[in-house]
Amino acid sequence: MTVEVKVPTLPESVADGTLVNWKKKPGDPVTRGENLVDLETDKVVLDIPAPADGVLGPILRQEGDTVSTGDVIATLEESAGAEITAPAPAATPAPAPAPASTTEVDLEGLSPAVRRLAAEHGLDVSRIPGSGRGGRVTKADVLAFIEARKSGAPAPVAAPARVAAAPMAVAMTAPTTTTAPAVAPDALGRLEQRVPMTRLRARVAERLLMAKNSTAMLTTFNEINMKPVMDLRARYKDEFEKKHGVRLGFMGFFVKAVVEALKRYPAVNGSIDGSDIIYHSYYDIGVAVSSPRGLVVPILRDADQMSLAEIERTIGEFGQKAKDGSLTVEEMTGGTFTITNGGVFGSLMSTPILNPPQSGILGMHATKDRPVAENGQIVIRPMMYVAHSYDHRIIDGREAVTFLVTVKDCIEDPARLVLSV
């Protein structure tokens, strides 16, 4: 029985997606739930699973096509028997059994699946262009040949097989050649390559430009002495990991410090909706994570109610999901404030861009030993520059600066996080 492979229901915030990578070819066996193709949306890459066990039939939508919920992208035969009986009328031409002797000779060295399909459809294998090693006919070639006959295409012409093989080969290799079109070398022999921008990258670029053009964005800077929190981490990291099963990092302290600062300055946790200001009574902190497909920002829901261990564990899970491409849209939707850490790449100073509709973002950077003055003495301390970009339409300079100072104070004296002072 033929089963249609359809695009599943997309989240409300996602209108459509682009097919980016077919995992299977026509004729390949598949199992229920197995990923057939990656669907790239504006936010995440989703899997489109096989709806049943069987053999993948013709692919109706190619890589690079834009699809939406309910679109049929391929068909699947639940069993070989169903596939054989369905196209039976196509084998009505009487002369088909005549070249049986020739077919039997050509079937030698072919797979059992190819032999069965050729025998039951009365096909002359010499007419089927092979895409396997040395021109060998594969099951996918036979299925494509049968489908061409069903659609009325003049595939089984009496011309030599190599003449028909040429356009078939072009059709099968087209998706791979068009994905990376190389431009001819210039007079100096230098090459260029033009590839389409991924939907995720295009969406990121669009939102960055929107943030820059639609907000009154300013950035204030400060520096943090990381020695107190580094000493605290070094003292308790082994005991912490033994008890909670997760490593004690610095991000948990910064999340806690940001939440404390947001409680004191609620405008930084707010957003603008038209001519209204929305003040949020909850603290959903976005943590920027690098993935192979670009920067993603999963959300720590109700971060004020999470312990350090829960924060560190959740961030670790987000990082692994980002690498695997398994982050869901729900995990990246919303957020009232964002933290980004360019220090993991060695950045010493930057001006982070807002993530609309949020009104603030904290940028962390690399920790470096620098000379600082303490009590009239020059000492070497591990210092980190931090940046707070904010929307000046809703946040005044005083609030923006004191917010960042509060974060600084909480990191330099972690006891403040416990005492809320």
Residues 6 or more apart whose CB falls under 8 angstroms from that of 311 comprise 251, 252, 255, 256, 300, 303
Helix 112-121 and helix 139-150, axial crossing angle in degrees, nearest 10: 20
Question: Given 186, 391, 396, 409, which residue is catalytic?
Answer: 396
Instruction: Tell me, yes or no, if 280 is annotated catalytic.
Output: no
Q: Which of 11, 8, 7 is nearest to 333 (CA)?
A: 11
Give the start-end residues of each E strand in 293-376. Answer: 294-296, 299-300, 337-341, 360-364, 367-374
DSSP for 117-146, please give it: HHHHHT--GGGSPP-SGGG---HHHHHHHH
Q: Which of 340, 391, 393, 333 is nearest to 362 (CA)?
A: 340
Cβ proximity of 117 and 123 under 8 Å:
yes
Residue 358 DSSP label: B
Instruction: Tell me, yes or no, if 65 is annotated catalytic.
Output: no
Cβ proximity of 322 and 287 under 8 Å:
no
Residues 6 or more apart whose CB falls under 8 angstroms from that of 349 comprise 221, 365, 385, 387
Measured CA to CA, the distance from residue 72 to residue 219 in angstroms comes to 48
Between CA 206 and CA 215, with CA 211 as vertex, the angle to 5 degrees is: 150
Question: Given 231, 238, 324, 392, which residue is catalytic?
Answer: 392
Q: Which of 299, 294, 295, 325 is nearest to 311 (CA)?
A: 299
How many residues in total does the chain contain?
A: 421
> Catalytic residue positions?
392, 396
